[in-house]
Structure 1
Amino acid sequence: MSIPFPTLTDHFAPLASRYDVLFCDVWGVIHNGVAPFPETVDALQRFRAGGGRVVLLTNAPRDGDVVVQFLDTLKVPRDAYDAVVTSGDVARAEIEARRDQAVLHIGPERDYSMFDHLELRFAPVERADYAVCSGLFDDETETPDDYRELMAAMRARDLFMVCANPDRVVERGHELVYCAGAIADLYESMGGAVMFTGKPYRPIYERALARAAALRGAAVPLDRVLAIGDSVRTDLKGAAGFGVDCLFVTAGIHAGELGGHETVDHGALAAIFTEAGLLPAAVTRRLAW
């Protein structure tokens, strides 16, 4: 059974007055890993100029400060947002609670900031007490299938996994690369226990809401919060589960199945919402004022 088609808009301005806070996805909405989208940066700047607050909400398996530095390298101006909350921030809190346990890290060296100053003991799968997955060791050449042997070894020891990035794939330029979520899904399918620290799970939204309240100096009603994102699995599902509206961006990771970066296939769009059983407040090709 199909569900009603949401409002399709080319401009954010008519919606902006309904909200005080934006929970805005980063990769796929603000940039594609190579360059920022100028119209999106402009829209966020205008929203903030009107008194709104923008909390960037990302499944990056790194500290928020590291994401800020990366945005700086892409020339995303800091006046486009107020704060950054990452799945890495949430994962770090879980890791800190396990400081006395030996950890197996699955992921690239660039994610090590998640462990800074925690004085952890790292160990191979044979001696680890649990695992943290932040990504693939080499996401340019590997796929989740390359990790079946490692996942089997973890499962044999019944190791618990903290997944620091629930995304399965992310857009880099115009290519899709695998993320930690794809490995965590494989481990779950083998019977392994996994804690997902980012979207669509509540802890990252609770952290973002607390950050927004601190910025505004007052509690923020959920009906005054809009989540903006390009993933049905993480952004749309997460917003619905937390009880906030969602503006769905089509020119992101679903672009290939929705008609491309420049057009929208309405039938395909309706199909993915029907399959998910979820409906955003509105749909836009790219966030623009």
Structure 2
Amino acid sequence: MTQIIEQFAEISGQYDAAFVDLWGCMHNGVAAMPAAVAAMQKYRAAGGIVVLVTNSPRPWDSVARQINGFGIPDDAWDAIATSGDSARAAMYRGIVGEKIWFMGESPRDDDFFKPLSIIEDPVNIQKVPLDQAEGIVCCGPSDPLADVDVNRPEFLYAKQKGLKLLCANPDIIVDRGEVREWCAGALAALYTEMGGESLYFGKPHPPIYDLARRRLAALANSPSDPRIIAIGDGIGTDVLGGVQEDLDVLFISGGLAASETKTVRQPDPDALAAYLQGEQMSATYTIGHLR
């Protein structure tokens, strides 16, 4: 049974660090959520460490610039771990070959191909047409509003060639303001459903948590054995990932599951319980919106 709390400060003193999701928790894809920003500033002022753990396919410094533009200041976080950085490291190690067919939006996703200095002897990544590709790199659909089924013909050809798909963002959907959009995770799920092989590097999969822990350990004020809480609104990404990493979890019910949990300011307890039971998932704590 999850415990519904009124504000993060009720429990924050139990944790040295928080792995905090961005989209749906700290911003809505358009602007910052002021109460969430204030909560993280207060937590940091009391000695807590905030690592933003996001399924964005962008490098961390690109995400930092983006959220600054949304109104999330630097004093609301300490470090950023992105699925993009985790996936980029795998790409430059050659996990899907050198010649790749790219799925995404240009120029928005161009930063994914920036050089990565932490990889020794990176492979020479070349973007090529599908019929010349050794693998697929997917940052998302070229049109996030189009039905993902439009990709079936290309995926059928790729599967027949035995191409692996590197998914840089396991999220299925996001809400950009009031508009719901498809993400790379929806494409990867379709490819897997069709018999192709998809490789994931964001939540809920282990690589991004390893990266987040390394980013946390690199901070000067990080304790040797930190108590960590995971915070997020994605039941199949943030919550599942936190549970699989044996972390306490704060579920933000007013994000992607706002309708199912009947969340306005706080979730309806019965609707929340039914939702978690239906998803066969548990969360240590739940709050309507991060504050």
1:193 partner letter: E
| Among 96, 103, 107, the residue aligned to 1:106 | 103
What CA deviation, in whole Å up to 9, does each residue of 1:5-27 have, x standing for no partner? x1111111110110000000000
* Alignment partner of 1:132 is 2:129: no
Aligned position for 1:190: 194
* Alignment partner of 1:178 is 2:174: no
What CA deviation, in whole Å up to 9, does each residue of 1:163-214 have, x standing for no partner? 0000000111022111000010000001111111100001101110121122
Q: Which runs of 4+ in 1 moved over 6 A?
A: none
Q: CA deviation at 1:265?
A: 2.8
Aligned position for 2:89: 93
RMSD over aligned CA atoms reads 1.4
| Among 150, 164, 181, the residue aligned to 2:168 | 164
* CA contact 1:209–1:220 (8 Å) conserved in 2: no
1:163 partner letter: C
What CA deviation, in whole Å up to 9, does each residue of 1:135-189 have, x standing for no partner? 010213x121111111111111110010000000011102211100001000000
Aligned position for 2:269: 266
TM-score (norm 1): 0.94
| Among 241, 244, 250, the residue aligned to 2:244 | 241
Matched residue pairs, number?
281
How much identity, in percent, do the aligned residues show?
38
Alpha carbons of structure 1 residues 7 and 218: separation in structure 2 relative to 1, 3 Å: closer
* Alignment partner of 1:219 is 2:221: no
Aligned position for 1:23: 19
Aligned position for 1:146: 150
Aligned counterparts of 2:173 and 2:222: Cα–Cα separation in 1? 36
Aligned counterparts of 1:71 and 1:101: Cα–Cα separation in 2? 32
Alpha carbons of structure 1 residues 51 and 263: separation in structure 2 relative to 1, 3 Å: closer
What CA deviation, in whole Å up to 9, does each residue of 1:52-100 have, x standing for no partner? 1100000000100110010111121110000110000000011110186
List alignment gaps of at least 5 residues for structure 2: 117-123
